[in-house]
Amino acid sequence: MAGIERFLAKRLRLKVNKAKSAVAKPRVRKFLGFSFYRGNEPRRRIAPQALARFKARVRVLTRRTCGRCLAQIVKELSVYLTGWRGYFGSANAVGVACA
Contact 27, 38 (CB under 8 A): yes
Q: How confident is the model at residue 83 (pLDDT cuts 50, 70, 90)?
A: very high
Please report, for residues 53, 57, 71, the alpha-carbon distance to residue 63 in angstroms, rounded to integers and kept in the order given: 15, 10, 14
pTM for the model stands at: 0.69
Question: What's the pLDDT band for 5 if we cut at 50, 70, 90?
Answer: confident
pLDDT in tens, 42-74: 788 888 889 999 999 999 999 888 788 899 999
Quote the CA–CA distance of 66 and 96 in Å, as a whole number: 27
Q: How far is CA 18 from the centre of its chain?
A: 20
The confidence band for 30, taking pLDDT boundaries of 50, 70 and 90, is: confident
